[in-house]
Amino acid sequence: MGFLVEPSARETFTPLELTDAYKDFETRGPQYLDDETGIKAGAYRFGERVLLVYEEAETGLVILIRPTSPKKVCSQKFERGSWVRQLRTSAGRSRL
């Protein structure tokens, strides 16, 4: 299985953050699955920055990309050595 880091993600995240998110996606699996398209996805929060990781169903290619509107993304946050799930409301406030 291959992976692709979009330029937007490469410019926004450190190599360690990209690696951590990719490894977590591969190890723990996706947070979301679109039944219609078969796309699997996960969202990861690093401070105020959000990274989307998704796998294309047909090719199996994993893509890491920075979304353009992070306020409506359900995400995970890496905190003190573990991933903490954070749900974002449309108003941008965190829900636990």
In a structure prediction context, what are the per-residue pLDDT tens digits for the chain, which is 96 residues long? Answer: 688 999 999 999 999 999 999 999 999 989 888 888 888 999 999 988 999 999 988 889 999 999 876 455 454 454 444 444 444 433 443 332
Q: What is the pLDDT of residue 71?
A: 54
**What does the angle CA 88 – CA 94 – CA 96 come to, to the nearest 5 degrees?**
100
Q: What is the pLDDT of residue 34?
A: 86
**53, 17 contact by CB (below 8 A):** no
Query: What number of other Cβ atoms are within 10 A of residue 1's Cβ?
Result: 8
Q: Which pTM was predicted?
A: 0.68
Q: What is the pLDDT of residue 78?
A: 47
**What does the angle CA 45 – CA 70 – CA 15 come to, to the nearest 5 degrees?**
45
What gap in Å lies between CA 30 and CA 22, rounded to an integer? 10
**60, 29 contact by CB (below 8 A):** no
